[in-house]
Amino acid sequence: MAIDGAYLHCLRQEMETRLQGARVDKIHQPSKEELVLALRSLSGNFKLYLSARVNSPRVHFTEIALENPPSPPMFCMLLRKRLTGARLMAVRQIGLERVLYFDFDAVNELGDMVRLTLAVEVMGRYSNIILIDGDNRVVDAIKRVDLTMSPMRPILPGIGYIVPLVDSVRVDLLSNTVEEVAARIMEGGAPLDRAIRSCTQGLSPLVCREIAAQTLHGEEDTGTLTEAQQHRLERALYRIQQALLLPQKRTPYILYRIDHTPLDFSFLPITQYGLSAVGREVEGFSRLLDEFYAEKDAAERMRQRSQDIWRVLNTTVDRISRKLNNQRRELADSGKRDEKRLYADLINANLHMIPKGAEKAELVNYYDEACPTICVPLDPSLSATQNAQKYYKEYRKAKTAEEILGQQIQIGEQDLVYLDSVFVALSRATTVR
């Protein structure tokens, strides 16, 4: 499940209570789409995890230690320059949109106090982490978006930051009454969970299905709600609204499959799965996400790291295989070296018979008992003596190559055997280290 606007709303309030006035101590970028901000405040030290990954975009406190690359990426270096020592002043969210804005007061190169905002957009494949200056211009982003990728909303340094488009058709439970939201939903038609999702803002498909399940109580979804169902719909919406408005009414809740793997999560208990899933409460919304994504992220990092190694291994194997093929071809050619020496000997024995500028010479092979006549190719730009020296040189080169190539081919074949063993070990690896 992706984080919806309602869950992000609960996260924002949890962060505000713990990060008020916190300063940025360190900034790390474990991968190209992840950031970790080490913050210190009067209430303690915290690590704020930001992710713009397509399959797991999110923002929350983390207690998991992540391995950092040997050299920081450019975006990480920029954030260190701009945000190290900055004080966090506010964490904002527009309605129930899936974007959090972290406002920092920082000191620039001239010693002046400036306002910088780190926008964390948790929107699936459009997720991003963007640094914005006080003039609402993009300083840089963890994922740059040019005009060919998005003509309507480019994200490039120097361009004005455009807030993600808000769907004015949808209503949210923060600025509308339960009755208004219920009336909008009842205009949406069947199925009920789809109508809820299309009419409301900030509610995930999981929460929409839960509202529909509490409304219908196992009854058939006919597309029109009875009076009793309308009352149940309003009660379910009221429960959601109270959880959004009152922190004591919300419960970080995680669901597990029967095999104990994480299934889903929400800010309220979920009952729609019945006996096919087991749920439990977790202490804190950030702790819930840490627990939910721990196994998934470990597998994702394992996959990314293994892909990098696979790519290096495949490139190395291809290079060694091409080199071996060339060496074997050269070794086969070097087997004809005796022919080169024969040509040289025959040319020397018949220097008086070979005219200058000849392209070939028909010479008797005195080294064969049958004394056949063979055609010896010549370089017309060389004299007969020079042609003989050329063939002697090629003969010596081929003889030396045969000795060296045999050793190199043996080494190359041993390297391929070793790389095959690395392939097998990599396919069986279960951890990064």
Each residue of 209-253: pLDDT tens digit? Answer: 999 999 988 887 767 888 898 999 999 999 999 999 999 999 999
13: enclosing H helix or E strand: helix 5-19
87: enclosing H helix or E strand: strand 87-92
**Any idea which of 7-11, 297-301, 302-306, 376-380 has the lowest mean pLDDT?**
297-301
Q: How far apart are CA 10 and CA 15, in angstroms?
A: 9
83 contacts 98 by C-beta, under 8 angstroms: no
How is residue 350 annotated by DSSP? T
Mean pLDDT of the chain: 86
pLDDT for 38: 95
Spatial neighbors of 214 by CB under 8 A, at least 6 apart, are: 232, 235, 236, 271
Reduced to 3 states, what is the DSSP secondary structure of residue 407?
A: helix
For residues 286-314, give the mean pLDDT: 79
For residues 359-368, give the mean pLDDT: 78
Q: How far apart are CA 298 and CA 305, in angstroms?
A: 10
Measured N-to-C along each axis, helices 192-199 and 178-186 cross at an angle, to the nearest 10 degrees, of 120
For residues 107-127, give the mean pLDDT: 92
Report whether the peptide linkage leading into residue 154 is cis, meaning its omega lies within 30 degrees of zero.
no
Record the tokens describing residue 162, joined without a space: 């455009």
Q: How far apart are CA 59 and CA 121, in angstroms?
A: 9
pLDDT for 432: 58
Reduced to 3 states, what is the DSSP secondary structure of residue 95?
A: coil
Q: How far apart are CA 52 and CA 31, in angstroms?
A: 10
246-275 pLDDT, tens digit per residue, is 999 999 999 988 888 888 999 999 999 888
pLDDT for 362: 81
Q: How far apart are CA 159 and CA 137, in angstroms?
A: 6
pLDDT for 430: 62
Most confident of 160-174, 278-292, 379-393: 278-292
pLDDT for 281: 92
pLDDT for 160: 94
Q: What is the pTM (predicted TM-score) of this model?
A: 0.71
Top pLDDT among 125 and 423 is at 125
Q: Which CA distances in Å does 260 have to 13, 115, 281, 284, 425?
A: 30, 45, 15, 20, 28
Measured N-to-C along each axis, helices 384-428 and 337-349 cross at an angle, to the nearest 10 degrees, of 170
327 contacts 341 by C-beta, under 8 angstroms: no
- pLDDT value at 352 more than 80: no
Confidence label for 79 from pLDDT (cuts 50, 70 and 90): very high
377-425 pLDDT, tens digit per residue, is 888 888 888 888 887 887 777 777 777 777 888 888 888 888 888 877 7
For residues 369-375, give the mean pLDDT: 79
12 contacts 122 by C-beta, under 8 angstroms: no
Confidence label for 334 from pLDDT (cuts 50, 70 and 90): low
Reduced to 3 states, what is the DSSP secondary structure of residue 279?
A: strand
Spatial neighbors of 48 by CB under 8 A, at least 6 apart, are: 15, 19, 36, 37, 38, 39, 59, 60, 61, 62
Long-range contacts of range 228-236, CB-CB < 8 Å, 24 or more positions apart?
230/182, 230/186, 233/182, 233/185, 233/186, 234/178, 234/179, 234/182, 236/210, 236/211
385 contacts 393 by C-beta, under 8 angstroms: no
The closest alpha carbon to 12, from 91, 90, 88, belongs to: 91
Top pLDDT among 191 and 368 is at 191
Confidence label for 1 from pLDDT (cuts 50, 70 and 90): low
How is residue 276 annotated by DSSP? G
